[in-house]
A = this chain, B = another copy of it.
Amino acid sequence: MTSLRIAALSIGDELLDGRIKDGNTHDLGNALSALGLELGEARVIPDVRQTIVDTVRALVQNYDIIVTSGGLGPTSDDVTAECLAEAAGCGLRFDEPSFVRMQAMFEGRGIEMPANNRRQAMLPASSRTLVNQMGTAPGFVTPFVVGDRSVEVWSFPGVPREYQHLRDDELLPVLLQRLGSSGAALTLVRRTLRCLGLAESAIGERLTPLEKAHPDVRVQYRAAFPEIIVRLVLTVDAGASAAVNARADTLADEARAAIGSSVWGMGDEPLEERVLTAARARGLTLATAESCTGGLVAKRLTDVAGSSDVVLGGVVSYANSAKVALLDVPEALLEAHGAVSGPVAEAMAAGARARLGASLAVSVSGVAGPGGGSADKPVGTVVFGLATPDGVTSVKKKFPDFGRERVREMAAATALRLLLSALTGPDSTGGES
């Protein structure tokens, strides 16, 4: 493989002093890995001009592509463009089209553009502009020649969604094209399994026989808490793709069988979108009743654009008085069983379904911690209720106590999984789309 040598360079004081965790490098590594490429090195450096210039000069000696993140903002500590120009030995140019785009963006918001933003249109003279659809700062590609090698430094804003946009829409297509034109056109066939409720090591153990039987298949594991995402990657030369697709399907079926019911779906569609799609296809509406998740289930469902035709609403019944007032949970039930109990979870779901007039309602009541646990109901104990036209059921889970946030995330995902199972049956995990 005529592989490309690629390095990542993240720029910003805030990445070194603990204020921000750099996620762009990790995500770039992931994206490159999916293409069969590897990140050779990653560096994080402060907003110090000489350090930036020196580091760029050092990296171009050893890599073909360097991807920088950050330092493209409008303030005085944003110096990436100036430093790239200095490292490349060129001046700065004023990029009129970027400036016009910025002005239009501010006008669209009815705000006058601060004079500072003009800085963001000053790019290295030799660079090619990358139009940023997500924000004011354009990206740019600065060419270097090192001996007889052509090196490119791709500079993206550090804001994750702007970085991802330019990575996916500008950089990756160029990389794919270069891989393709190298004569040994590379195709990747992937199958993605999404798992909830098993540890990564346990999933890995269940897939060990498959990995051993098919050493040419890359099995990638990724923890996207609370999910574990497993990807089977088959590399093929262009042309043989039909047979490889069939083999990938067979392998995915084997992997699903090996992992078991923890696989809730396949492909890239998030759990909340699967739930909405399944409900919409059946003409059903949804409601939520949340205690310990405090609105997280409703938030995830309404994260999705167009969710309003399916999601009628929900209740965050944090206090017991709210469970009584808004969900008609009988006080006697709360006294007899406590809020974290099957009967109360069932009453919450039934109350939300009735009050909101929804086809299905899910409820969550649990101990997210750090306080509130007991020997009987330790932190991580969560009870779920499900109300459907067929009746009301409940299920109790004990999640590991990895902290309040994780218990809540695990509980919200489990509530969505219960809705999905109610809508599609427990074994219908859907196909790769």
Contact = CB atoms under 8 A, between A and B. Distances in A.
A314 interface: yes
B201 A74 contact: yes
A303 interface: yes
| Count class of interface residues, chain A | 35 or more
Interface string A313-327: 111111101100110
Nearest to A75: B204
Interface in A175-224: 199-202, 204-205, 208, 211, 219-224
Nearest to A317: B313
Contacts of A46: 38, 40-41
B18 A22 contact: no
A38 B16 contact: yes
A161 B403 CA distance: 11
B305 A223 contact: no
Given A74-B204, A222-B19, A222-B20, A295 B316 contact: yes
Interface in A38-53: 38-46, 51
A41 B29 contact: no
Contacts of A301: 294
B44 A16 contact: no
Give the secondary structure class of A's interface: mixed
B356 A134 contact: no
Given A306-B371, A319-B308, A326-B313, A204 B357 contact: no
A351 to B, nearest CB: 11
Contact of A325 (B33, B161, B325, B355): B355
A398 interface: yes
B110 A398 contact: yes
A30 B44 contact: no
